Amino acid sequence: MNHGHKGNHLGRTKEHRRALMRNLSAQLIEHKRIFTTLAKAKALRSYIEPLVTRAKNNTTHNRRVVFRYVQDKAAVTELFGTIAAEVGDRPGGYVRVIRTGFRKGDGAEMAMIEFVDFNKEYSAKEEKGGGRRRRRRGGKGKGKAATAAPAAETATEAAEEAAEEATEATEETATEVAETAEETTTEEASEADEASEESKEEDK
């Protein structure tokens, strides 16, 4: 029975599982990013993060302890050198696991595991988008009132301008009608005078 045994056995014996974690740790330290199954990535994260914490204190004892778990001299040198210098200010969470989809053959869920401080592009995006806007709860009503006041003033000004334009248009139309009526009356009077003169000449 599996009482009191925490962690994923990964379908392997203890010796096989230990060898797997050693190899994955060495590869992650060397390449800073590897792709594997999600279950292995989660198991590797809990396996390697205590080693990175020990690497921040470069002593002979810590090097020997880490070497017991990694069994790779080049990986230990890289861990206590480059990686320890890069993650020195980070209190924990040295690696991240990102799901990448499912494997075609057996449908296993895949993931990418990498050191957080060695992905410069992702870190730069986090720094750019890190500033969140904070709003006070009491400021919502004030903002709405401040927005509503200019809107009301704008609407009033627009209505006044429309009324003035309508009045001007009405006055112009009335003036044009009056001028047209005067011109028509003048033309009719002149035509009547001409007709009367012609009739007088005919009578003579």
pTM of the model: 0.59
**Distance, CA of 199 to chain centre:** 94
In terms of Cα–Cα distance, which of 96, 60, 54 is closest to 79? 54
Domain 14-121 has CATH 3.90.1030.10: yes
Which residues make beta-bridge pairs with 33? 114
The burial of 94, by beta-carbon neighbours within 10 Å (0-12 exposed, 13-18 middle, 19 or more buried), is given as buried
In terms of Cα–Cα distance, which of 20, 92, 112, 5 is closest to 51? 92
What stretches of 69-129 adopt beta strand conformation (E)?
Answer: 95-102, 109-115
Q: Identify whether the C-beta of residue 86 lies closer than 8 Å to the C-beta of residue 106.
A: no
Full pLDDT tens readout for the chain, 204 residues: 778 877 889 999 999 999 999 999 999 999 999 999 999 999 999 999 999 999 999 999 999 999 999 999 999 999 999 999 998 889 999 999 999 999 999 999 999 999 998 887 766 665 666 555 566 665 555 545 545 556 666 767 777 777 777 777 666 766 676 676 666 666 666 666 666 666 666 664
CA distance 79 to 81: 5
Instruction: Show me where the domains of the chain are located.
Output: 14-121, 145-204
What stretches of 17-157 adopt beta strand conformation (E)?
Answer: 33-37, 95-102, 109-115
**Distance, CA of 82 to chain centre:** 32
CA distance 128 to 16: 43
Q: How many residues does the chain have?
A: 204
Q: What is the pLDDT, as a whole number, of residue 187?
A: 65
Q: Identify whether the C-beta of residue 69 lies closer than 8 Å to the C-beta of residue 43.
A: no
